[in-house]
Amino acid sequence: MRGFLSFFVFLGLVTATAADRPNVVFILADDLGYSDLGCYGGEIATPNLDGLAKNGLRFTQFYNTARCWPTRGALMSGYYAQQIHRDELPGLGGGGRGVRQPWARLLPDFLKSAGYRNYHSGKWHIDGPVLEAGFDRSLDTRNQGNFFSAKGNAIDDVLVKVPENETGYYTTIVTADHAIDCLKEHAAKYADRPFFHYIPFIAPHFPLHALPEDIAKYRDKYLQGWEVMREARYQRQKQMGIVNTELSALEKKVGPPYDFPEDLEILGPGEINRPLPWESLTDEQRRFQATKMAIHAAMVDRMDQEIGRILQQLKDMGAYENTLVFFASDNGASAEIMVRNGGHDPKAEPGSAATYLCLGPGFSSACNTPFRRHKTWVHEGGISTPLIAHWPKGITAHGELRQTPAHMVDIVPTILAITGVEKPKEWQGETIPEAPGKSLMAAFTKDETVSRESIWWLHEGNRAVRVGDWKLVAAKGDPWELYDLKSDRAEAHNLAAQMPEKVKELESAWQQQTDDFSTLVNKTLDQQPKLPAKGKGKKKKK
């Protein structure tokens, strides 16, 4: 079969041979802002991802869960993280240490039935060993505290041995090296079979660690401050047609989601924990903040370079044309400020292994342009991600935008539809519950809205629901806010007081979803160990 391979499911050709089925690569960034890529308005050099966008699709209203492990659980399972114990429900526990129910299989388990080989290169942060989740090979970059060390990482679930005098290691490069090695082996030994490759980079998650030559490109680029950066990105986004909203206001009283005042002292007088007017900062603060943004940009730049090497390998092995490549981020840019792992040496070169820097709320706000808030919040800045889809054989549109609201839970049904794989109704005698996601396959052909009842969020007391263009959202402990996202994704004009009936309607929809998820979870709690409550404090993994 050739040409419009994406339609073989619609045509009833579910008996396609393994060689006919497309390969799938899903690349995930960590703490990347909505506007960080050039193709979403950013000034960072991302030519490889921009190239995928130019010859594919960009989704403008794609959502994650606002945090790392819930997004990864949703992405790989097709369920909201709360449904599978991977984020907390009121009174029921769950979270980063929650264990999925036996029926909550991950995507590779289903793809195996169609002859797929499955590879994982990068961060995991899902419960259980990687190979037991259906992957054939894995690099698990568990060391999230030092980009310059492999200590604690695992290959095929076995800890790696690290030389005493370890040198020349950088996680982003090693992640790509492993991915390329998997692809080369596939070409040599399994060329008659399709593959699924999950590549979750840690970049640009803190600590801000980057190669000196990458930092040098951006060292002085951000000295004009976050207001100038936000405005420039916003204007480019409007020109591209990516957004139809005003630019959100900087929230000067909103700082990091967790307060570690002792860490601010360690970081010194250059650090600030609020997005104050740039002109009000000292020269030392301006340089410190601009340097942090430069390192963040360097991390994104390097990730794009490494993605370019992976794409070249796909071309070299003749797989590029029939490989569907996705790219997204697990949450918005982060306002967090902390010092952990090996600590922070203020005398060391910023971005080196001896330093521990975080982006903070000022430039996080700029990276999330034009939206409000940051990672962990479920306002648009915390949950909005780029989604690029590129597939030469299956997507004929080039450089087009897709406006349909969509969510990470949609990725599994989309991939299953495209690969012609039917999800089983049960697993080892246990019924698999209906999943909430919708296939985005129709949107590959034209810009149409995928029909759904709602999109739902809950994380650390932050909650939201979207029904059509209406969004009800509240930070933990705050009253509901109501926004019309058709024209106000900046969440600047709260309509809750003017439209109390709409608030009640959407609150009921949010509560119904929450109750349904609680009912599902309660069915299996009696058969499993009690779920741990969500941890608190700086020792908690991201």
Is pLDDT above 60 for 13?
no
Could you tell me the two tokens for 510?
Answer: 């949010």
Higher pLDDT, 373 or 539: 373
φ/ψ (deg, to 5) at 458: -160, 125
Alpha-carbon span 369 to 40, nearest angstrom: 10
Q: What is the pLDDT of residue 16?
A: 52
Is pLDDT above 70 for 53?
yes
Contact between 425 and 437 under an 8 Å Cβ cutoff? The reply is no
Average pLDDT value for residue range 344-367: 97
Alpha-carbon span 28 to 71, nearest angstrom: 10
Bridge-based pairing of strands 481-484 and 470-474 is antiparallel
What number does CATH give the domain 28-99+116-421+456-525? 3.40.720.10
Could you tell me the two tokens for 357?
Answer: 């820097």
Is pLDDT above 70 for 206?
yes
Q: pLDDT band at 87, cuts 50/70/90?
A: very high
CA atoms within 13 A on the CB side of 216: 3
Q: Looking only at Cα atoms, what is the longest distance across the chain?
A: 66
Q: What is the pLDDT of residue 164?
A: 87
Q: pLDDT band at 220, cuts 50/70/90?
A: very high
Q: In which residue are the tokens 């264990």 written? A: 99
Q: What is the pLDDT of residue 342?
A: 82
Alpha-carbon span 332 to 444, nearest angstrom: 24
Task: Compute the mean pLDDT over every residue in the chain, rounded to the nearest whole number.
Answer: 93
Is pLDDT above 80 for 531?
no
Domain boundaries, the chain: 28-99+116-421+456-525
Amino acid at 51: G
Average pLDDT value for residue range 464-476: 98
Taking Cα atoms as reference points, which of 69, 28, 70 lies closest to residue 517?
70
Taking Cα atoms as reference points, which of 70, 125, 100 lies closest to residue 331?
70
Is pLDDT above 80 for 323?
yes
E strands present in 358-507: 384-390, 400-402, 406-407, 426-427, 430-431, 455-459, 462-467, 470-474, 481-484
Alpha-carbon span 530 to 517, nearest angstrom: 17
Amino acid at 48: N
| Enclosing H/E stretch for 386 | strand 384-390
Strand partners, 89: 93
Alpha-carbon span 277 to 282, nearest angstrom: 11
The full length of the chain comes to 542
Higher pLDDT, 537 or 23: 23
Is pLDDT above 70 for 380?
yes
Q: What is the pLDDT of residue 351?
A: 98
Q: pLDDT band at 366, cuts 50/70/90?
A: very high
φ/ψ (deg, to 5) at 270: -75, -15
Q: Percentage of the chain with pLDDT > 70? A: 93
Q: In which residue are the tokens 């396609």 written? A: 16
Q: What is the pLDDT of residue 102?
A: 94
Contact between 295 and 221 under an 8 Å Cβ cutoff? The reply is no
Query: Does the model's pTM come out above 0.85?
Result: yes
Is pLDDT above 90 for 254?
yes
Is pLDDT above 50 for 143?
yes
Asked if the bond preceding 405 is cis, omega within 30° of 0, the reply is: no
Q: Percentage of the chain with pLDDT > 90? A: 89
φ/ψ (deg, to 5) at 406: -155, 170
3-state secondary structure of 333: coil
Is pLDDT above 70 for 154?
yes
Q: What is the pLDDT of residue 18?
A: 67
Is pLDDT above 50 for 100?
yes
Bridge-based pairing of strands 462-467 and 470-474 is antiparallel
E strands present in 258-372: 323-329
Taking Cα atoms as reference points, which of 374, 334, 337, 377 lies closest to residue 250?
374
Q: What is the pLDDT of residue 523?
A: 81
Q: What is the pLDDT of residue 7?
A: 43
Give the angle 300-389-315 at the CA atoms, nearest 5°. 80
Is pLDDT above 70 for 138?
yes
Is pLDDT above 80 for 542?
no
Strand partners, 384: 63
Alpha-carbon span 371 to 333, nearest angstrom: 11
Is pLDDT above 90 for 10?
no
Q: What is the pLDDT of residue 19?
A: 67
